[in-house]
């Protein structure tokens, strides 16, 4: 009867040596894990133990199912075959150990026998082959295809670390098959067909005969055992530790809305000044980085030629925390200020990271320190001063905020004095920017045409603070929230609407719940969609444009609103042609995170120019539709500087709707 004989052809001394080496391996492994855990414990406290069911489901979905990785077909197949190959071989080793060292010794029987053993051999052979296929794909991709995101690792030791992981796993798989093939070549069991790979190798070794095969078997078994023990012992000291850290990072990920940025975490000061100021979860983030480069590949700042690479920041922060070199300053020696200020807070890095690293929380905490120390761009400082003094970034007095309403008839209600159905928070850019005021007036015209009962705060409105907070000015953000909340509290309304995704995000996700007393906060694309579906907004003509649509970061990635603006576009009769990067992969315009207030230096091509080039390349597209005031400003300028003014028109969603009316 087929049965698993674990130590066939292995002398007693080698068997004993294996147990001794196995124990030493576990000690070294445990010490490495202990060092990691101790380092996490040095971080500042952060509560991440709520909603356990949701967290466990996340681990099954993204650590075991690897849904995010599978979005990239090549990398997804590569990693899934490696992952499941390792899991299967590990489980096979555990089962063999239990079978030989537990059930055989304690109860005198082996469960790995008969059909169970045959299926065991077949499954391990198949998954071992999958592992080799995955490793081959990984080696081909890294050393032959060499995608851009894997080329520019600044630390050569990291490249050696990657090569070590690939090499060790390959050696383990190959030597394991050789041991199996030599055993089959000597024993020639009737059930050899259940080990297809081993059987093929056995036919190659058959001509060697005994005792050569037995001697070779012992030699390769020894090598296989030593390689496996070295590999296991090294896991906590190499990139391979992501096998443990990534599932943990996924489990402890933030379950708050994507648009809810955590407040400053350091008591007594603002921002992260030294490594001691990071939270334990941020340290776990650094250690979970697998250096795949997805964040870098989708980063608009990196694409524009700036100094920022989200991956490199994570790598440098991890190295800094391990070194604990007192002569190195976190700000300046490790992370440069221009790296941090280059971030547009578009959230592409966070959205696409398979390890669920929160780059933005780290960047914002680091920025908070720079703001606290006054290390900011001159234009940004002017904008912050204006926001503190006037409540807007245009250095305009509050009484000018509603100047755009003067031509609107009937007069728009003052929501502080009259009850309204919809409280419209207009936003700075829509209120003050000369190119946007006509769009704001058109939106008001649409609302009136639909018979909407709405009003605004007039001079009572301040900047919502979304970008202020992401710049790192937490104190100013709190002041703006307080003033807006006070103005809103005097109003009687049923829902809030805004045309600015940045304003929408912070009102919906970051203002205290009591500010709106659980009343809905809507982006105007959602409201237009509702009005069309309910029949309150009817169109008299069908447009016949071929258009593409740009997903605003703060509407899409931050709040998951993709369908509503597309339904509005479709209802006008326009033919929508999607850009290659759309939805959650949409490319940022480059205005977010306060970038619109800063000088544009050190870039080869602005993100907005990259985006309009992408739109202009679509066959037949006449217009690029936007649903964000900042997008409109950025792309209007970009079509001129990129030379597409005669080929591509930038249109706001409200313009399409008004034309259809």
| Residue 210 CB neighbours (<10 A) | 9
Over residues 294-346, the pLDDT tens digits come to 999 999 999 999 999 999 999 999 999 988 777 889 999 999 999 999 999 99
The answer to whether the CB of 291 falls within 8 A of the CB of 313 is no
- Which strands form 546-549's sheet, in the order they lie side by side? 575-576, 546-549, 623-626, 649-652
User: Across residues 89-105, what is the average pLDDT?
Assistant: 88
Instruction: State how far the Cα of 302 lies from the Cα of 590, in Å rounded to an integer.
Output: 11
Q: Classify residue 335 by its DSSP letter.
A: B
Helix axes 280-288, 359-372, angle to 10 degrees: 130
Q: Give me the pLDDT at residue 324, please.
A: 79
Angle at 564 between CA 560 and CA 565, to 5 degrees: 100
DSSP 586: P
CA–CA separation, 50 and 255 (whole Å) = 9
Q: Is the pLDDT of residue 165 over 70?
A: yes
Of 71-75, 234-238, 539-543, which gets the smallest average pLDDT? 71-75
39 to each of 267, 317, 456, how far by Cα in Å? 20, 13, 51
pLDDT tier, 155 (very low <50, low <70, confident <90, very high otherwise): low
Provide the pLDDT for residue 152.
58
Burial of 77 (0-12, 13-18, 19+ CB in 10 A): middle
Does the structure show a pLDDT above 80 at 434? yes
> Could you tell me if 580 and 614 are in contact, meaning their C-beta atoms sit under 8 angstroms apart?
yes
Q: Would you say residue 171 has pLDDT above 90?
A: yes
Query: Band of the pLDDT at 616, cuts 50, 70, 90?
Result: very high
Q: What is the pLDDT of residue 71?
A: 84
For residues 305 and 363, what is the distance between their CA atoms, to the nearest angstrom? 19
**According to the model, what pLDDT value does residue 162 have?**
86
pLDDT above 90 (res 269): no
The pLDDT value given to residue 440: 97
Residue 26 has pLDDT above 90, yes or no: yes
Cis peptide before 211 (omega within 30 of 0): yes
- 544 vs 344, higher pLDDT: 344
**Rounded CA gap, 554 and 546, in Å?**
25
Closest CA to 138 of 77, 90, 89: 77
- Tell me if 444 sits within 8 A of 407, measured CB to CB: no
Q: Report d(CA 226, CA 219) in Å as an integer.
A: 11
Report the side by side order of strands in the sheet with 495-498. 413-414, 454-456, 422-424, 495-498, 521-523
Q: In the structure, what pLDDT confidence band is assigned to residue 4 with cuts at 50, 70 and 90?
A: confident
Rounded Cα distance between 511 and 484, Å, is 10
Instruction: Note the pLDDT of residue 249.
Output: 96
pLDDT value at position 648? 96
Least confident range of 11-25, 29-43, 204-218, 259-273: 259-273
Domains of the chain as residue ranges with CATH: 12-250 (1.20.950), 293-375 (no CATH), 393-533 (3.40.50), 539-660 (3.40.50)
pLDDT of residue 579: 97
Residue 99's pLDDT is what? 86
Percent with pLDDT over 70 in the chain = 98
pLDDT tens digit sequence for 176-198: 999 999 999 998 888 989 999 99
Report helix, strand or coil for 497.
Answer: strand
In whole angstroms, what is the distance from residue 152 CA to residue 173 CA?
30
pLDDT digits (tens, 9 = 90+) for 223-247: 999 999 999 999 999 989 999 999 9
Residue 462: predicted pLDDT? 97
Query: Please, which residues bridge with residue 650 across strands?
Result: 624
User: Does residue 268 carry a pLDDT above 60?
Assistant: no
Distance CA 437, CA 328 (A): 49
Q: Residue 548's beta-bridge partner residues?
A: 624
Whether the CB-CB separation of 537 and 448 falls below 8 Å is answered with: no
Q: In the beta sheet, which residues pair with residue 464?
A: none
Residue 265: pLDDT band with limits 50, 70, 90: low
What is the per-residue pLDDT for 194? 92
At residue 443, the pLDDT reads 97
Q: Which two tokens stand for residue 404?
A: 């755009």
In this prediction, residue 557 carries a pLDDT of 96
Q: Is 605 left (phi over 0), alpha (psi -120 to 50) or beta?
A: beta
pTM for the structure as a whole: 0.91
Q: Coil, helix or strand for 660?
A: helix
For residue 109, what pLDDT band results from cuts at 50, 70 and 90?
confident
Q: Rounded to whole angstroms, what are the CA distances from 512 to 481, 508, 509?
A: 9, 9, 8
Whether residue 106 is predicted with pLDDT greater than 90 in this model: the reply is no
Tokens of 14: 């080698």
pLDDT for the residue numbered 157? 66
Task: Dig out the tokens for 21 from the structure.
Answer: 């080496």
Evaluate if residue 159 carries a pLDDT over 80: no
602 vs 351: which has the higher pLDDT: 351
Cα–Cα–Cα angle for 268, 361, 267, nearest 5°? 10
On the question of a cis peptide bond just before residue 632, with omega within 30 degrees of 0, the verdict is no
Pull the structure tokens for residue 42.
């040095």
Residue 496: strand pairing partners:
423, 521
Average pLDDT over residues 10-39: 94
Work out the mean pLDDT of the chain and round it to a whole number. 93
The rounded distance, in Å, linking the Cα atoms of 82 and 69 is 12
Examine the pLDDT at 158 and tell me if it is beyond 80.
no
Question: Do residues 476 and 393 touch, judged by C-beta distance below 8 A?
Answer: no
pLDDT tens for 363-401 read 999 999 999 999 999 999 999 999 999 999 999 999 999
Q: What tokens were used for 453?
A: 């009962």
Q: What does DSSP say about strands 495-498 and 521-523: parallel, antiparallel, or unpaired?
A: parallel
* pLDDT bucket at 80, cuts 50 / 70 / 90: very high
Whole-number pLDDT of residue 72: 86
Residue 161 confidence class, pLDDT cut points 50, 70, 90 = confident
Structure tokens at 99: 């079978």
């Amino acid at each position: 009867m087929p049965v698993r004989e674990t130590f066939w052809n292995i002398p007693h001394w080698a068997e004993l040596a294996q147990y001794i080496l196995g124990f030493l391996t576990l000690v070294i492994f445990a010490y490495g894990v202990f060092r990691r855990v101790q380092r996490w414990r040095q971080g500042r406290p952060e509560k991440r133990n709520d909603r356990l069911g949701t967290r466990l489901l996340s681990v099954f979905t993204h650590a075991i199912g690897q849904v995010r990785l599978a979005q990239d077909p090549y990398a997804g197949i590569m990693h899934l075959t490696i992952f499941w190959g390792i899991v299967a071989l590990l489980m096979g080793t555990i089962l063999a150990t239990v079978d030989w060292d537990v059930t055989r010794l304690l109860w005198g029987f082996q469960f790995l026998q008969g059909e169970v053993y045959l299926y065991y051999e077949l499954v391990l052979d198949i998954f071992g082959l999958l592992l080799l296929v995955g490793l081959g794909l990984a080696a081909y991709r890294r050393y032959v295809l060499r995608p851009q995101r894997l080329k520019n690792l600044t630390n050569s030791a990291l490249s050696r670390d990657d090569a070590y992981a690939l090499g060790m796993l390959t050696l383990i798989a190959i030597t394991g098959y050789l041991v199996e093939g030599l055993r089959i070549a000597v024993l020639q069991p009737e059930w050899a067909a259940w080990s297809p790979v081993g059987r093929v190798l056995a036919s190659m070794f058959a001509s060697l005969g005994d005792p050569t095969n037995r001697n070779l078997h012992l030699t390769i078994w020894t090598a296989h055992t030593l390689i496996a023990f070295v590999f296991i012992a090294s896991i906590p000291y190499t990139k391979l530790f992501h096998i443990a850290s990534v599932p943990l990072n996924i489990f402890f990920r933030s379950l708050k809305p994507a648009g809810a940025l955590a407040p400053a975490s350091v008591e007594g000061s603002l921002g992260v000044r030294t490594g001691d100021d990071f939270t334990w979860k941020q340290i776990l983030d650094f250690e979970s980085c697998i250096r795949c480069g997805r964040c870098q590949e989708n980063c608009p700042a990196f694409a524009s030629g700036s100094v920022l690479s989200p991956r490199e920041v994570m790598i440098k922060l991890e190295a800094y925390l391990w070194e604990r070199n007192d002569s190195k300053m976190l700000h300046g020696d490790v992370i440069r200020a221009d790296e941090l200020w280059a971030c547009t807070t578009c959230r592409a890095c966070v959205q696409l990271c398979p390890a669920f690293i929160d780059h933005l929380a780290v960047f914002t905490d680091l920025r908070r320190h720079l703001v606290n120390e006054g290390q900011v761009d001159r234009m940004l400082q002017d904008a912050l001063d204006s926001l503190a003094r006037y409540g807007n970034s245009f250095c305009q007095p509050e009484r000018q905020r509603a100047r755009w309403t003067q031509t609107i008839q009937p007069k728009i209600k003052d929501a502080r004095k009259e009850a309204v159905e919809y409280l419209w928070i207009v936003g700075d850019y829509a209120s003050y920017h000369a190119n946007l005021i006509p769009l704001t007036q058109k939106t008001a015209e649409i609302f009136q045409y639909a018979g909407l009962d709405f009003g605004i705060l007039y001079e009572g409105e301040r900047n919502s603070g979304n970008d202020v907070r992401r710049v790192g000015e937490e104190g100013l953000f709190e002041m703006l929230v307080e003033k807006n909340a006070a103005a809103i509290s005097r109003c009687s309304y049923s829902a809030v609407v805004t045309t600015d995704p940045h304003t929408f995000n912070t009102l919906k996700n970051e203002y205290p719940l009591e500010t709106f007393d659980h009343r809905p906060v809507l982006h105007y694309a959602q409201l237009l969609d509702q009005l069309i579906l309910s029949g309150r907004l009817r169109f008299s003509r069908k447009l016949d444009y071929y258009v593409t649509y740009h997903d605003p970061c703060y509407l899409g990635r931050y709040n998951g609103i993709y369908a509503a603006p597309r339904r509005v576009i479709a209802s006008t009769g326009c033919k929508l042609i999607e850009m290659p990067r759309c939805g959650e992969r949409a490319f940022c315009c480059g205005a977010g995170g306060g970038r619109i207030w800063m000088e544009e230096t050190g870039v080869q091509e602005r993100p907005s120019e990259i985006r309009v080039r992408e739109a202009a390349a679509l066959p037949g597209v006449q217009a690029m539709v936007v649903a964000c005031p900042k997008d409109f400003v950025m792309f209007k300028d970009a079509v001129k500087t990129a030379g597409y003014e005669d080929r591509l028109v930038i249109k706001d969603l409200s313009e399409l709707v008004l034309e259809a009316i």
